[in-house]
Chain A
Amino acid sequence: MMHLNRRHMLAGFAGGLAIPGLTLAAPATERRLVFIMLRGAMDGIATIMPLGDPAYAPLRANFGPPPAAGAPLRLDSMWSLHPALAEIGSLHARGEAAFVHAIASPYRERSHFEAQNVLETGGTTAYARGDGWLNRLLPMLPKAEPAVALTATMPMVLRGPAAATSFAPSQIPDADAALLARVEALYQGDPQLHALWGQAIDARTAAGQDGKSGGGGRANPAALGRLAATFLAKPQGARVAMLEIGGWDTHANQPGRLTAQLRQLDGTIAALRSGLGPAWSQTLVIAATEFGRTAAPNGTGGTDHGTGGAAILAGGTLTRAQVLADWPGLAPTPLFAGRDLRPTLDLRALLAGAAAGQFGLDPAEVAVRVFGERGLKPVTGLIRD
């Protein structure tokens, strides 16, 4: 007979596990968790802008949001929000959005693949685990409809033994703008393909399919958010959803591209909120990315792969609006490897603390069972009871 200590018992209760001779039906929960994976590495410094850091202006002169996007939304003397995040800004004003800065997973190299794998598996090294942290969270939650990923295939973060499903939005972009830009670069050195590609893009622009939804351009963020909301809003529906937005790898022409990216994210969250209706008050959205970008712009009007980044929280269960950061500063000395924002918080500590708070779980329990890390110190106090 297996010895059950208190932690096992708690886990059994929380997960609604059947212990022989004793069926424990966990009560359903009204709480909802949405994880948004920002693939490509969002520039946290340009998103939640540390305008109060004296090192910011000299580092990023003339590299802010394009004037047409409007003025940054001032949060306090230190922080301003990129103007494309209008909805998130108004949520912040109502105490329903918070930002976490100078944060990173344990990964310290610069490969998107490996970094995304580390973030999604919730481990410390790439390809060390075959299941995702969000999947490992599921057995700790009250019984509900399977978690849903709004993607064509099951993303790593939700893979694992717990029930999860994926549902492809009907308007998956045929070829998203990010891929088209990469293809353009790929054909630079091939005279035949370069010429053909130029004509193809011209024809596409003439047909009004550039960057618009429906014609093979970007994903329609509103549709993605609404779709996720339909799964979550149902009284007996799913309680965990995952969606992803790609295109954040802004090595060139960042100001314009990032504005469009952030509008997508902002629109997705706006659609989630309106689609969820009253259930928004029970919802937490976490948007995270695999790593940050270099503190200084590069020579092509963009930024390169960095380390410390930012995460965005939104929803009706936040205790308050805040920018949570043990800010290391952008001056040359504190920079990581002389070029990146130095991470001062483990992304897993945020994920563990936020998930535990959202579902009333023991944060230390989540740290161990989901992230396999006894030493992890989950961030608490983010979520109201």
Chain B
Amino acid sequence: MVTLSALAPAIALNRFGLGARPDEPLPARPQAWLLGQLDKFTPRTPAIAATPDSAEAAARFRQYLAQRKPGQNAATAPAADPQANIRQQLRRMYRESYGQHVRARVQEALITPAPFPERLVHFWANHFAVSADKLATIGLAGTLEFEAIRPHILGRFEDMLLAVARHPAMMLYLDQAQSIGPGSRLAQAAARRQRRRQPPRLQPPRRQPPRQLGLNENLAREILELHTLGAGSGYGQADVLALARGLTGWSVGGFVRRPIGIEAPDGAFVFQPNWHEPGTQTLLANSYSQDGEAQGRAMLLSLARDPRTARHLCTKLARHFVADVPPPALVAKLEARWLTSGGDLAAVTQALVEAPEAWAPATKFKTPWEWLISALRGTGQRQVPDLRYAPALNALGQPAWRPGSPAGWDDIAASWAAPDALMRRVETGGRMAAAFGDRIDARTLAPKLLPGVLTAATAQAIARAESPAQAMALLLVSPEFLRRE
């Protein structure tokens, strides 16, 4: 273990954790405190188990689609239409699951005994971002984190990659669910019948062959560019196509019937052999001659084990936790551990905590999510307050699971430190302080939340505030609290 500075407790709480809680002691042995949390982490907590899972969310989505007449949506349906009411209800029910997921996420962040692993969850979920702004993903985005990320944050990266690629949220978000090999049996049969081509768009179960059978390279491209190797790491369009062909047939149950495809439970992974592009594929100069589902799987495993993936993700991890420009020595250590352990994320996480570079003085501007969660924890909340947290995240500029692109939220200060964003934080801080700040003495709270970090200027501003609520607001928007060490 390295010798840590006086800032170590603050670093443990804020750089690696979710911020201090007034009802929890300062970590006396910061590194041991962080590593000990790895055993306390629960992938499936009661709060999460109480929310709709991907099967339920997918079923709600399918039911909604089934009620929707082609070319008409719920908003424009005539009021007299008795079906419109049902559609509206289904739509609302489906959208509500997003709110339930956000609430569960916030709840877990407030009371978890393992804030560091929760931070890893948030990091990896953002790495494998699914944006909840498509109807298909609104109710499913949270389930990707709960089902494909949480079980694997301390497992192998390749297992996480496979779980994500097979999850209905990702397959629907990046259009994998309807990707059909041009040489597949389904496409061949369609061509033979010389019918007009129709795609298996996300429609209620149907018997007509889909329009425009075809390959969709969206997921394959993002796996190479975002999830594994990283942009500019030396792959080309031929590799994107090869991976896309290798993944054909990977789809989501609940949306097709025979003879178009195999029927499967709502939201479940299903391999459609008749959609799979036959033949050997060449990805990054390696041949993949596997048949069916195994082909895409073998490709993903190779990508997960590629050293470029290790470099890409270790850089991202170090940037997320430590500094916008991460120390090269730290990235090198993480990378070495990644490669020797075969992408064992528990080993990489341990290397992060044990590296002296990870405890060096450095500051990051908190993202809106980090700031809001640390503020709720700092003011002692144990329940998700009726603060309209989801709109609050919206106003702060970071609605949960809605980064707007598969690249996820940016992880550097320049993206978050902006005039309007700052004003929103001050407004939100004022609102939170008005809601529960007058019962807490910000003067004694400040050094607990910002051990060794609180400046004399901020302490004085808090002490001189004209009311307890104003003092709390000033603490929440102080330079030290807007940033983390």
Query: Which residues of A are interface residues toward B (Cβ below 8 A)?
Result: 39-41, 111-113, 116, 152-153, 155-156, 172-176, 178-180, 182-183, 185-187, 189-190, 192-193, 196-197, 199-200, 203-204, 216, 246-249
Show 13 residue pairs from A and B whose CB-CB distance is below 8 angstroms, ordered by the A residue: A111-B463, A112-B466, A116-B468, A173-B430, A174-B431, A175-B423, A175-B427, A182-B461, A187-B479, A193-B417, A193-B479, A196-B417, A248-B466
* Known contacts A113-B441, A193-B479; A200/B466 CB under 8 A: no
The 8 A CB mask of B415-445 against A (1 = contact, 0 = none) is: 0011110110011011100111011010100
CB distance from B452 to the nearest CB of A (A): 18
Q: Which residues of B contact A187 (CB under 8 A)?
A: 479
Q: Across the interface, do B478 and A186 meet the contact criterion of CB distance under 8 Å?
A: yes
The residue that B420 contacts in the complex, of A39, A176, A179, A203, with Cβ under 8 A, is: A203
Nearest residue in B to A40 (C-beta to C-beta)?
Answer: B466
Q: Across the interface, do A176 and B479 meet the contact criterion of CB distance under 8 Å?
A: no
A179 and B418 CA atoms in complex are apart in Å by: 19
Q: Which residues of A contact B479 (CB under 8 A)?
A: 186-187, 190, 193
Q: Across the interface, do A153 and B426 meet the contact criterion of CB distance under 8 Å?
A: no
Determine if B180 is an interface residue (Cβ-Cβ < 8 Å).
no
Determine if B474 is an interface residue (Cβ-Cβ < 8 Å).
yes
Nearest residue in B to A152 (C-beta to C-beta)?
Answer: B434
The 8 A CB mask of B446-485 against A (1 = contact, 0 = none) is: 0000000000011001011111101101100111001000
Q: Across the interface, do A246 and B423 meet the contact criterion of CB distance under 8 Å?
A: no
A196 and B421 CA atoms in complex are apart in Å by: 9
Q: Across the interface, do A176 and B435 meet the contact criterion of CB distance under 8 Å?
A: no
Q: Across the interface, do B466 and A152 meet the contact criterion of CB distance under 8 Å?
A: no
The residue that A113 contacts in the complex, of B419, B458, B471, B477, with Cβ under 8 A, is: B471
* Known contacts A155-B438, A200-B422; A182/B465 CB under 8 A: yes
Q: Across the interface, do A197 and B436 meet the contact criterion of CB distance under 8 Å?
A: no
Q: Across the interface, do B471 and A179 meet the contact criterion of CB distance under 8 Å?
A: no
A113 and B417 CA atoms in complex are apart in Å by: 32
A182 and B477 CA atoms in complex are apart in Å by: 11
Q: Across the interface, do A179 and B436 meet the contact criterion of CB distance under 8 Å?
A: no
Q: Across the interface, do A185 and B461 meet the contact criterion of CB distance under 8 Å?
A: yes
Q: Which residues of B contact A116 (CB under 8 A)?
A: 467-468
The residue that A39 contacts in the complex, of B422, B426, B464, B466, with Cβ under 8 A, is: B466
Task: Point out which of A156, A175, A180, A203 has the most chain B C-beta atoms below 10 A from its C-beta.
Answer: A175
CB distance from A23 to the nearest CB of B (A): 37
Q: Across the interface, do B474 and A152 meet the contact criterion of CB distance under 8 Å?
A: no
Q: Across the interface, do A186 and B430 meet the contact criterion of CB distance under 8 Å?
A: no
Nearest residue in A to B477 (C-beta to C-beta)?
Answer: A183
Q: Which residues of B contact A246 (CB under 8 A)?
A: 466-467, 470
The residue that A179 contacts in the complex, of B419, B422, B430, B464, with Cβ under 8 A, is: B430
Q: Which residues of B contact A193 (CB under 8 A)?
A: 417, 422, 479, 482
Q: Which residues of A contact B417 (CB under 8 A)?
A: 192-193, 196
* Known contacts A112-B465, A174-B431, A180-B426; A186/B477 CB under 8 A: yes
Q: Across the interface, do A249 and B466 meet the contact criterion of CB distance under 8 Å?
A: yes
A161 and B464 CA atoms in complex are apart in Å by: 31
* Known contacts A39-B466, A186-B457; A153/B435 CB under 8 A: yes
Nearest residue in A to B434 (C-beta to C-beta)?
Answer: A152
Nearest residue in B to A247 (C-beta to C-beta)?
Answer: B466
The 5 A-B pairs with the shortest beta carbon distances in the complex, nearest first, are A40-B466, A249-B466, A199-B419, A200-B419, A174-B427
Q: Across the interface, do A153 and B438 meet the contact criterion of CB distance under 8 Å?
A: yes
A155 and B468 CA atoms in complex are apart in Å by: 11
Q: Which residues of B contact A173 (CB under 8 A)?
A: 430
Nearest residue in A to B471 (C-beta to C-beta)?
Answer: A113
Q: Which residues of B contact A156 (CB under 8 A)?
A: 438
Nearest residue in B to A248 (C-beta to C-beta)?
Answer: B466
Given contacts A179-B470, A182-B470, 4 further A-B contacts (CB under 8 A): A200-B422, A203-B423, A246-B467, A248-B466
Nearest residue in A to B433 (C-beta to C-beta)?
Answer: A179
The residue that A197 contacts in the complex, of B422, B431, B463, B474, with Cβ under 8 A, is: B422
Q: Across the interface, do A174 and B430 meet the contact criterion of CB distance under 8 Å?
A: yes
* Known contacts A39-B466, A153-B436, A247-B466; A176/B474 CB under 8 A: no
CB distance from A130 to the nearest CB of B (A): 11
* Known contacts A40-B467, A155-B438; A204/B482 CB under 8 A: no
CB distance from A172 to the nearest CB of B (A): 6
Q: Which residues of B contact A172 (CB under 8 A)?
A: 431, 434
Q: Which residues of A contact B418 (CB under 8 A)?
A: 196
Q: Across the interface, do A179 and B473 meet the contact criterion of CB distance under 8 Å?
A: yes
